[in-house]
Amino acid sequence: LAESSGITRPKGYNVSFHCNPEMEKHHFGMTHPMKPWRLTLSKSLIYSYGMSFAMDNYLTRAATYEELASFHSTDYLDFLGTVLPEAVPRDLENQNPDLKFNLGGSDCPLFDGLYDYCSMSAGSALDAARKICSQQSDIAIAWGGGLHHAKKAEASGFCYINDIVIAILELLRFYPRVLYIDIDVHHGDGVEEAFFSTDRVMTVSFHKYDPNNFFPGTGALDDNGPKSEHNPGAHHAVNVPLQDGITDEQYDSLFNNIVGRIVEKFRPGAIALQCGADSLAGDRLGRFNLQVQGHGACVEFCKRMNIPMILFGGGGYTPRNVARAWTYETSIAINCQDKISPILPEHAPWREHFRQDTLFPTIEQILGEARANKNTAKKMQDIVNHVTEQLRFVES
């Protein structure tokens, strides 16, 4: 397979792939948007292209309680580890049960094997971080991670354990400064909050921003860290609020401009890139018009900087497009994006899930008609100006 596809190991650097197939078997509930089996679909496409031959593949173990406790409170972990799905009152009388740690509502339901699911996601992310720290990998991929909303003692937005924070804490044992970048359509609030008061982590999130109508409602342009002058974390949170319908061209020019400036000023030793695929056109929850190429261009830009990097998954609610994006991004990591066929492999199991047989469906193929673009050139320029000004306060 590897020979026929022409895919070979990248020269001069190592890519590792970290997954736990047991994680993918969990269910949030029939109609819940989060589908762990999108990971199975993604891997199936990645393997069908023969990409596993160009990477070190690891089946990861679940994170231990102590590893989870590097970020989360033990009260929360103890509850998460013992609470049963039946524990939430489901009677019609009690529409709004008083949820402990925000667990058991419709966004963060209790389901069978919840604690295992969470510790597996964190286990893959942590394994990826350790391979970066030991310099065995230059790029480490953990598509099962990226659950950026989870807080120290609270579940939020389909996220229970913040595998990204746990992985970054591991990176900080080795690297003085880590840059976190988040291209999920939602604001990366949990990661931002966790590193709010340190200057060793800069966070930058690109997201749809509408405080009243889009989750989680935070991440305004001028929310940049603690306001106090004496707090080292001041100015170390960058937020890029966007509106419906942003295109590849606009997004990539903004991404390159902003991330380019941040890297130049902050000089991170490692990058953690959350690749939430709900920023793609046609996502069940998203609002943008990004194509697989535009989403992947962000990964390509980061890779060109030659800084050790972890690629995390995250959101993504139209599984066939999630699989396309994470397959294309895996190909970028191993530098075979120009070698792989844009036609999906003939022998791909699950081929019928993809509707079109291309890795790069057009907006018209995905949506019929593109969503109206509400992002003006002026607003884009205002964002660049604000970030440029903000970076004057970041010490290099």
Catalytic residues: 149
Interactions with ligand VJV, residue window 87-106 (CB under 6 A):
106
Give the residue nearest to Zn ion (CB). 315
The whole-angstrom distance between residue 9's C-alpha and the CA centroid of its chain comes to: 25
Which of 145, 190, 268, 276 contacts Zn ion by CB under 5 A?
276
Closest distance of CB 179 from ligand VJV, Å: 19
Interactions with ligand VJV, residue window 287-316 (CB under 6 A):
314-315
**Among 60-68, 146-154, 329-337, 345-353, the segment contacting ligand VJV (CB under 6 A):** 146-154
**Among 103-111, 185-193, 237-245, 264-272, the segment contacting Ca ion (CB under 5 A):** 185-193
270 forms beta bridges with: 178
Closest distance of CB 276 from Ca ion, Å: 6
Cβ distance 57 to 334 under 8 Å?
no
Which of 215, 288, 326, 328 contacts ligand VJV by CB under 6 A?
215
Q: Which does 207 bind (CB under 5 to 8 A by kind): Ca ion, Zn ion, ligand VJV, none?
A: Ca ion
How many residues bind ligand VJV (CB under 6 A)? The answer is 20
- Smaller CB separation from ligand VJV, 27 or 339: 27
What is the Cα Rg of the chain in Å?
20
Which of 189, 278, 283, 329 contacts ligand VJV by CB under 6 A?
278
Which of 205, 291, 335, 375 contacts Ca ion by CB under 5 A?
205
Q: Tokens 């609030």 correspond to what residue?
A: 189
Closest distance of CB 143 from ligand VJV, Å: 12
Q: Does residue 160 touch ligand VJV according to CB under 6 A?
A: no
Q: Before 216, cis peptide (omega within 30)?
A: yes
Which of 51, 55, 110, 159 contacts ligand VJV by CB under 6 A?
159
As a whole number of angstroms, the distance between CA 394 and CA 199 comes to 9
In terms of residues, how long is the chain? Answer: 396
**Among 57-65, 145-153, 263-271, 302-310, the segment contacting ligand VJV (CB under 6 A):** 145-153
Q: Which does 158 bind (CB under 5 to 8 A by kind): ligand VJV, Zn ion, Ca ion, none?
A: ligand VJV
Closest distance of CB 121 from Zn ion, Å: 15
Q: Does residue 345 touch ligand VJV according to CB under 6 A?
A: no
Q: Which of 116, 158, 148 minimizes the C-alpha distance to 28? A: 158
Q: Which of 161, 153, 198 minimizes the C-alpha distance to 179? A: 198
**Among 82-90, 101-109, 111-119, 274-282, the segment contacting Zn ion (CB under 5 A):** 274-282
Which token pair is 130?
């350790």
Q: Does residue 278 touch Zn ion according to CB under 5 A?
A: yes
Q: Does residue 147 touch ligand VJV according to CB under 6 A?
A: yes
Closest distance of CB 69 from ligand VJV, Å: 22
Closest distance of CB 256 from ligand VJV, Å: 23
Which of 24, 67, 154, 184 contacts Ca ion by CB under 5 A?
184
Q: Does residue 276 touch ligand VJV according to CB under 6 A?
A: yes
Going by C-beta distance under 8 Å and a sequence separation of 6 or more, which residues neighbour residue 172? 178, 200, 201
- Smaller CB separation from ligand VJV, 157 or 319: 157
Closest distance of CB 214 from ligand VJV, Å: 7
Cβ distance 179 to 202 under 8 Å?
yes
| Contacts with ligand VJV, residue ranges (CB under 6 A) | 29, 31-33, 106-107, 147-149, 157-159, 184, 186, 215, 276, 278, 285, 314-315
| Contacts with Zn ion, residue ranges (CB under 5 A) | 184, 186, 276, 278, 315
